[in-house]
Amino acid sequence: MQIHTHRPWGKRLAAVALVTSLSVAATVALMPLKPLAAQSVGAVPSVRGLPDFTDLVDAVGPSVVNIRTVEKVRGGARPSGQEEQMLEFFRRFGIPLPPGVTPRGPRAERDGEEAERPRGVGSGFALTADGFIMTNAHVVDGADEVIVTLPDKREFKARIVGTDKRTDVAVVKIEATGLNAVKIGDVSRLRVGEWVMAIGSPFGLENTVTAGIVSAKQRDTGDYLPFIQTDVAINPGNSGGPLINMRGEVVGINSQIYSRSGGFQGISFAIPIDEAVRVSDQLRSSGRVTRGRIGVGIDQVSKEVAESIGLGKPEGALVRSVEPDSPAAKAGIEPGDIIVRFDGKAIEKSVDLPRLVGNTKPGARSTVTVFRRGSTKDLTITIGEVEPERVAQRPESKDTKPPATSLVKSLGLSLSELTDAAKAELKLNGGVRIDGAEGAAARAGLREGDVILAVANTEVRGLKEFEAVVAKADKSRPINVLFRRGEWAQYAVIRPATR
């Protein structure tokens, strides 16, 4: 941590106070005296004053806990970088160390001697009166011991009920009763610009209150979470603490910050509480989270692609690959399809699909609406279950060229038929192989080895079909090409050269 001091704090504060008082006096002297009603614009309500958070602190403060984690290490181990920074912060400002945090000394450095070392400090809040605490998964991940300190200074060793790294949600349990459980808010009612408050333990400083406004909703920073973005001051130790609305309800879990220095820089993210509660319910019932999967690799749909294939606006999720024997493959979903609805819910952006599928119970039957070559089609799919750490295989096809070749000069493509062996290996019924790409095709991103599956929204099984479709196409307009590279399928838009 770097702390810059250019002059004594007392003189700096005095100067700031003087400038501020003069500025305020000048502003008041120049301000025209108009009634508040005359200053309002349209239907926008006038600001009547800044919010008072004192009642919220009194109501929610008793529900927020401090969480310390401990790991067992061999003598000689050095403290982590985060711990070094935290200790330096306390040393420079003369702040007493939090419970359980001790400075490093020669005794702790003996080789071969196992010792407990503070690993991190975070926050949490009471879900139930009988001891269930919600926090972030990264707060307790890898800890040998978790210690929960209540606002009344009582300490308990906690048992980790379950963690979910995908959403960064964890639930721990302490043997205590009569806790002040939080009230869960409705995230759908949360509005951008609304005041919110956070309570946590930044740098181990317990029961610290900060406030700000909601900067954005549905912020896409993860596969399964549409984060709430705020400008509430969040620092190391705030993780896992509640984000609270003006009704005293928890609407999120403070989880991440955007920072280039490691400290707060005005942008922080919270996990929406409805998503977190859904995860916590599963953790409490089974200790793990099950999510649905259909076995597709997806990408965004660009405006250019949407216009060229007749989709209209860029929406849905472009299917780039389909895993063999997956629920998607069995349902008839193909590479190049654009999934526009799932169980009747519109897919506005590609990230909407994994969230909807992930929240669907494995084994359930759902309806998927796909846009394929100019029209939509409903498919019935049985949802599978996400397998941990599954890695998609990407086999490469053997370059075996059959004798039949074609040169499509207007597109800059040199093509050949696929061999039966290549079709079997790629699990394709047809298509043509690109032997060379230049000019317009190269500028569109096509290259040797790619396999073209469709052109101008028309499926092609061989060279003759490809040439027939291109011959009928308007040479002055862009033409869309669905191609496969390895196991991934995607669209390219070729802009043919015109005379």
The residue annotated as part of the active site, out of 80, 130, 138, 406, is 138
Please provide the DSSP assignment of 180-195 as one string. -PPEE--GGG--TT-E
Cα–Cα distance, 65 to 151 (Å, whole number): 6
Q: Verify whether residue 144 is a known catalytic residue.
A: no
What are 190's two structure tokens?
Answer: 């949360």
Q: How many angstroms separate the CA atoms of 486 and 33, rounded?
A: 71
Alpha carbons 307 and 299: distance in angstroms, whole number: 16
- Catalytic residue, chosen from 63, 123, 164, 168, is 168
- CA dist list (Å): 314 to 295, 339, 348: 22, 12, 8
Bridge-based pairing of strands 432-437 and 169-173 is: unpaired
Residue 54 C-alpha from the chain's centroid = 32
DSSP annotation of 398 reads: P
- 10 Å Cβ neighbour count for 455? 25
Sorted by sequence, the CB contacts under 8 Å of residue 13 that are 6+ apart come out as none
Nearest Cα to Cα of residue 168 among 272, 290, 80 = 272
Nearest Cα neighbor of 108 from 82, 76, 147, 65 is: 76
Tokens linked to 191: 């509005």
How far apart, in whole angstroms, are the C-alpha atoms of residue 98 and residue 109?
A: 21
The answer to whether 256 and 390 are in contact (CB under 8 A) is no
Number of neighbours of residue 55 by Cβ within 10 angstroms: 10
Provide the CA 293 distance to its chain's centre, in angstroms.
17
Is residue 168 annotated as a catalytic residue, yes or no?
A: yes
Residue 332: partners with Cβ closer than 8 Å, 6 or more residues away: 379
Beta strands 169-173 and 292-293 are unpaired
Report the alpha-carbon distance of residue 155 to residue 67 in Å, rounded. Answer: 10
**Residue bearing tokens 């040169």:** 407
C-alpha closest to that of 133 among 118, 152, 153, 150: 150
- Marked catalytic residue, from 63, 123, 201, 239: 239
CB-CB neighbours of 288 under 10 Å = 11
138 flagged as catalytic: yes
d(CA 383, CA 328): 9
How far apart, in Å, are the Cα atoms of 458 and each of 24, 107, 303, 370, 461?
70, 75, 20, 16, 10
Confirm if 323 and 295 have CB atoms less than 8 A apart.
Answer: yes
Residue 275, SS3 per DSSP: helix
Enzyme catalytic residues: 138, 168, 239
